[in-house]
């Protein structure tokens, strides 16, 4: 199983911190960058094959992963990182992924247990879903019922929302092949360059593909998108999420 990390974006909502640094290399504490917390969780699960999609300041990310010799890295450069949404990054990464891979957003921090539960869940496509009392317009909202995900979109109304996608999902077998084919179809239409890759998943669900899910508690993950997210991780969450063994209390 390979891990695909989408880390091409500019992280403009974290300016000025990202003026000269990609979001994935922002320091979160203990000398660790966001990307390194992901790698530590991946390593803890015994996984080694990682595809990193880069774009903005790619040379910095490539230099950082050069020091992680325990991993088998494949860097995929997205030259359209400033012109398109992450659908293009997913499309560029899929040819390197094979028929069993986990797709992870580059701004997610997560405990290794979350990735492990996803890896153990049977099914061709599974998503990690977290629950909370209320959801805002920036959340990638989902509707789940009867053990399946039926809807995923930032635009879901409150009455059709009972969770959010944390930006981590696994594709296997026919599900992986179907996802690649749908991305290929979508990138051929200019209007799709501004949509999220999860629209491909919604299209697949609309066509009858069952998508399962595993639950993730709010304290098991965090998305770093805005300045308050970064401060919360630094002040409260990092020690509760993933840390290298030598930094654990």
Helices 173-187 and 86-93, axial angle in degrees (round to 10): 130
Domain count, the chain: 1
- Under DSSP, the state recorded for 101 is E
Q: What is the pLDDT of residues 32-58, one digit of tens each?
A: 899 999 999 999 999 999 999 999 999
- Asked if 28 and 233 touch (Cβ cutoff 8 Å), the reply is yes
Q: What is the pLDDT of residues 137-192, one digit of tens each?
A: 989 999 999 999 999 999 999 999 999 999 999 999 999 999 999 999 999 999 88
| Structure tokens belonging to residue 239 | 């020690």
The CATH code of the domain that includes 73 is: 3.90.550.10
Q: What is the pLDDT of residues 193-232, one digit of tens each?
A: 888 999 999 999 999 999 999 999 998 999 988 898 888 8
Whole-number pLDDT of residue 241: 67
- Domain range spanning residue 198? 2-247
Q: Indicate if the pLDDT at residue 14 is higher than 90.
A: no
pTM: 0.92
Whole-number pLDDT of residue 248: 46
Determine the Cα–Cα distance for residues 32 and 109; give it in Å rounded to an integer: 12
Among 131, 143, 136, 153, which Cα is nearest to 198's? 153
What 3-state DSSP class applies to 196?
Answer: coil
- pLDDT band of residue 240 (cuts 50, 70, 90) is low
């Amino acid at each position: 199983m390979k891990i695909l990390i989408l880390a091409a974006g500019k992280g403009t909502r974290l300016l000025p911190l990202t003026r000269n640094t990609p979001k994935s290399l922002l320091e979160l504490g203990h000398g660790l960058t966001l990307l390194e917390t992901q790698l530590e969780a991946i390593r803890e699960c015994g996984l080694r094959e990682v595809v990193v999609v880069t774009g903005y300041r790619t040379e910095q990310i490539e230099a950082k992963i050069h020091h992680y010799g325990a991993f088998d890295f494949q860097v995929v450069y997205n030259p359209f990182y400033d012109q398109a949404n992450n659908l293009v990054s997913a499309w560029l990464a899929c040819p390197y992924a094979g028929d069993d891979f986990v797709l992870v957003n580059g701004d997610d921090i997560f405990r290794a247990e979350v990735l492990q539960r996803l890896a153990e869940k049977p099914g061709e496509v599974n998503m990690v879903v977290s629950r909370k009392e209320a959801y805002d317009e920036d959340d990638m909202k989902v509707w789940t019922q009867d053990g399946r995900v039926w809807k995923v979109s930032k635009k879901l109304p409150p009455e059709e929302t009972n969770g959010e996608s944390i930006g981590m999902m696994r594709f296997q077998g026919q599900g992986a092949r179907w996802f690649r084919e749908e991305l290929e179809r979508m990138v051929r239409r200019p209007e799709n360059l501004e949509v999220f890759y999860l629209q491909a998943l919604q299209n697949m669900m609309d066509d009858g593909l069952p998508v399962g899910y595993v639950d993730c508690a709010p304290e098991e993950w965090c998305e770093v998108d805005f300045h308050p997210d970064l401060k919360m991780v630094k002040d409260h969450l990092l020690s509760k999420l993933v840390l290298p063994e030598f930094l654990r209390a």
